[in-house]
Amino acid sequence: MLTGLILSGGPAHEYALTSPMLSDVLVEVGIDCHVHDEFTVVEDGSLDAYDLVVLNCARWTCDQTPEWRDEWHFSLSEAARKALLDFLDAGKGLLALHAATLCFDDWPEYRKILRAWWDWGHSGHAPAQPHAINVYTDAHPIVHGVEDFEIIDELYTKLRLADAIQPLADATWEGETHPILWTRLYGNARICYNALGHGVDAFDNPTNRLLIQRGALWVVDRLETEETSGQ
């Protein structure tokens, strides 16, 4: 069985509920996950034991949200940054969900890892309600055979992009189309970002659960579908 590390926690989200749900979703496809709210696990040598890291968290400096700063200010240490880069350089995988694009906002390299970031004053979100997700079926093994679906979730909008991406799914809000799911290679590592996952409803959605599972398997190069394998 593969082993995953879920980094969790932060304000304005139900991480105490959704991270255990996420763990259950991934164990169904053979990934045994450990949930950690303390990020010391990233810098103490423990990463060597994991095949992938999953970000289900909202950890940032909170400089733009002073009402949260005292309780939630967070900056990834230099040791943790080096450990995560070494982890990726070893060819291991990163699955980033929802608020991961606003994490580690004082670390410029992280923007290159995900290819996108939340820009306060520019980025926004559509409220948690039913949204239609357009899937680029068969554009990639993660979405092979997956049809368009509806989900109750919060949609992130107007993320800044470090460079061009090819979305595997997107959604439209207020006349603009916003990427929801994409993959990329970062050196030796595979990266998958899925913008869904604000609350319990998103992790209950069967299609999103499938996309999470496939994203996790793809980043560790274990994804196989009926007609194509991860590549």
Report pLDDT digits (tens) over 69-127.
Answer: 999 999 999 999 999 999 999 999 999 999 999 999 999 999 999 999 999 999 999 99
Taking residues 200-214, what's their average pLDDT?
A: 98
Residue 157 phi, psi (nearest 5): -130, 150
151: pLDDT confidence band, cut at 50, 70 and 90? very high
Report pLDDT digits (tens) over 50-69.
Answer: 999 999 999 999 999 999 99
Maximum distance among all Cα pairs of the chain, rounded to whole angstroms = 51
Q: For position 162, what pLDDT does the model report?
A: 85
Query: For residues 176 and 167, what is the distance between their CA atoms, to the nearest angstrom?
Result: 14
Q: pTM value?
A: 0.96
pLDDT at position 229 over 60: no
Residue 38 phi, psi (nearest 5): -95, 130
pLDDT at position 157 over 80: yes
Q: For position 225, what pLDDT does the model report?
A: 59
pLDDT at position 226 over 60: no
Q: Domain extents for the chain?
A: 2-219
CATH 3.40.50.880 fits 2-219, yes or no: yes
